[in-house]
């Protein structure tokens, strides 16, 4: 078996990145710390709604333009959706005043 060349293979999981980007915020409560995810604010939702109405667009028109569900636009305007940077980028391309 001298003609075979066996090489040692080490299998292990990749270690997680040392400094992952922060995806959640931590708020201090009375009984300790609670992790709270970042959401769109209601102020941003109001700005979006006024900008959308000023261009005489309804939620469906905007959702078709962004290629997202109509309920997603509603959730942004009500401050219920988790923050998404890509979606903000798309919105700012349509509404630069945001």
Question: Per-residue DSSP letters for 4-39?
Answer: ---------PPPPPSSPPP-EEEEEETTEEEEEE-B
pLDDT at res. 8: 75
Residues constituting the chain: 98
Could you give the angle at the alpha carbon of 68 between the alpha carbons of 62 and 72, nearest 5°? 85
Residue-wise pLDDT for 13-43, tens only, equals 666 555 544 545 566 666 666 666 688 889 9
| 45 burial type by CB count under 10 A (0-12 exposed, 13-18 middle, 19+ buried) | buried
Q: Which option is the CATH number for 42-94: 2.40.50.140, 3.30.479.20, 3.40.50.970, 1.10.260.40?
A: 1.10.260.40
Count of alpha carbons within 13 Å of 60, Cβ hemisphere only?
0
Two tokens, residue 81: 């959706």
* Total-model pTM: 0.62
> What pLDDT does residue 24 have?
55
| Distance in angstroms (rounded) separating the CA atoms of residues 95 and 53 | 11
Domain ranges of the chain: 42-94
């Amino acid at each position: 078996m001298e003609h075979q060349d066996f090489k040692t293979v080490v299998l292990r999981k990749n270690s997680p990145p040392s400094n992952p980007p922060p995806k959640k915020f931590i708020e201090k409560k009375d009984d300790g710390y609670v992790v709270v995810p970042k959401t769109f604010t209601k102020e941003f939702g109001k700005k979006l709604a006024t900008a959308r109405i000023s261009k005489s667009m309804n939620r469906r028109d905007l959702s078709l333009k962004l290629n997202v569900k109509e309920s997603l636009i509603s959730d942004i305007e009500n401050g219920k959706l988790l923050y998404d940077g890509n979606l903000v980028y798309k919105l700012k391309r349509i509404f630069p005043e945001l």
